[in-house]
């Protein structure tokens, strides 16, 4: 049974018609960077709950979530229409394995995401422990248009302090021919070697861990390729591997 806390909306950022962030004040239990919780609203007499990843670091009590407003979705359009000081249910307990505690130290940590799937990585990067554990962190974020990379400023700020450790690669799926970006789908850009060429680092099972978050098709195709062609394996509770993933649907 979910133990709910009643939180209040402190701030809302409307990035586009489909993307927004909410910041909640609430009393919740500690969580690890990269974890998710449940948010819920009473809608027509029913509590509708969905999972959302924390994007703030665990030490920051402004609980922030980056959300896609899904057309005809049962919860997200209602979250989009919330106002300041509105009440919202938030699960006191966080869950999820997209966390660094479960990952063996290695040279390179690849963080691959689509859309709002960047959320857990923002929490991990703001937590900063990651920079002690890995030589290089490569954040690969796929969005349709550059305007959809709403946390670019935050990521650039972190990069300034960790310029020798953090590499950011933006992938666009809709605009073409914009300098310094890659164009296409993550699994294809791994298969054809373009991602590795652009970054200048090989995705090798000998020295890397790959995290995948967001679109289930991106996760499936990337994981299949890395397992079949590059010797990667899933990171399991009872068997260390080098792929950790979280599907958003
Ligand atoms: C572990 C976990 C963490 C999650 N964290 C986030 C998060 O931080 N931010 C976030 O926006 N969503 C996140 N999700 C998805 C979220 O839980 C909901 O599924 C989403 O908000 C849609 O809910 P809904 O009730 O509006 O739509 P529903 O009525 O439940 O419709 C669901 C349909 O919407 C589509 N969909 C779901 N999520 C997305 C998405 N993010 N982008 C595009 N299409 C989607 C799928 O086709 C899915 O079948 C997460 C899901 C999981 C399992």
Q: Is the CB of 149 under 6 A from ligand 1?
A: no
Please state the atom number of ligand 1 nearest to the C-alpha of residue 51: 17
Residue 42, SS3 per DSSP: strand
What 8-state DSSP symbol labels residue 234? B
Assigned token pair, 11: 């701030």
- Overall average pLDDT of the 26-32 stretch: 98
pLDDT in tens, 77-108: 999 999 999 999 999 999 999 999 999 999 99
> Domain 4-91 in CATH: superfamily?
Translation factors (2.40.30.10)
Residue 197, SS3 per DSSP: helix
Q: Is the CB of 50 under 6 A from ligand 1?
A: yes
Comparing 17 with 69, the larger pLDDT belongs to 69
**What was the pLDDT predicted at 181?**
87
Q: Is the dihedral of CA 165, 198, 114, 156 positive or negative?
A: positive
Q: Whose CA is nearest to atom 51 of ligand 1?
A: 248
Q: What average pLDDT does the structure give for the chain?
A: 96
Q: Whose CA is nearest to atom 10 of ligand 1?
A: 67
Report CA-CA distances (Å) from 154 to 1, 86, 107, 119, 203.
Answer: 35, 26, 24, 12, 26
CATH 3.40.630.10 fits 100-247, yes or no: no
Please state the atom number of ligand 1 nearest to the C-alpha of residue 48: 25
Note whether 183 and 143 are within 8 A (CB): no
- Is pLDDT of 66 > 90? yes
Examine domains 4-91 and 100-247 and report if their fold is the same.
no
- Overall average pLDDT of the 222-238 stretch: 97
Q: Whose CA is nearest to atom 18 of ligand 1?
A: 50
pLDDT in tens, 119-157: 999 999 999 899 999 999 999 999 998 888 999 999 999
pTM: 0.97
Nearest CA-CA partner of 211 in 66, 102, 71: 102
Å from CA of 67 to ligand 1 middle: 8
pLDDT in tens, 168-218: 999 999 876 677 789 999 999 999 999 999 999 999 999 999 999 999 999
Count Cβ atoms below 10 Å from residue 93 Cβ, excluding itself: 14
In the chain, where the domains are located: 4-91, 100-247
């Amino acid at each position: 049974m979910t133990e709910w806390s009643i939180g209040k909306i402190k701030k809302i950022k409307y990035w586009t018609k489909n993307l927004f962030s909410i910041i909640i004040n609430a009393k919740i239990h500690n969580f690890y960077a990269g974890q998710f919780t449940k948010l819920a609203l009473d809608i027509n007499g029913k509590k509708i709950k969905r999972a959302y990843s924390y994007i703030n670091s665990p030490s920051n009590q402004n609980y922030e979530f980056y959300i896609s407003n899904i057309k005809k979705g049962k919860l997200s359009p209602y979250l989009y229409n919330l106002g300041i000081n509105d009440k919202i249910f938030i699960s006191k307990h966080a869950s999820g394995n997209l966390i660094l505690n479960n990952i063996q130290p290695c040279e390179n940590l690849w963080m691959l995401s689509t859309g709002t799937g960047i959320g857990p990585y923002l929490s991990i990067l703001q937590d900063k422990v990651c920079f002690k554990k890995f030589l290089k962190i490569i954040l690969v974020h796929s969005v349709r248009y550059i305007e959809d990379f709403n946390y670019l400023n935050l990521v650039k700020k972190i990069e300034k302090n960790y310029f020798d450790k953090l590499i950011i690669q933006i992938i666009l799926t809709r605009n073409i021919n914009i300098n310094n970006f890659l164009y296409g789908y993550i699994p294809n850009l791994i298969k054809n070697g373009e991602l590795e060429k652009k970054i200048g680092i090989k995705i090798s099972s000998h020295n890397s861990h790959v995290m995948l978050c967001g679109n289930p098709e991106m996760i499936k195709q990337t994981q299949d390729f890395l397992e079949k062609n590059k010797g990667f394996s899933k990171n399991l509770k009872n068997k260390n591997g080098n792929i950790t993933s979280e599907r958003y649907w």
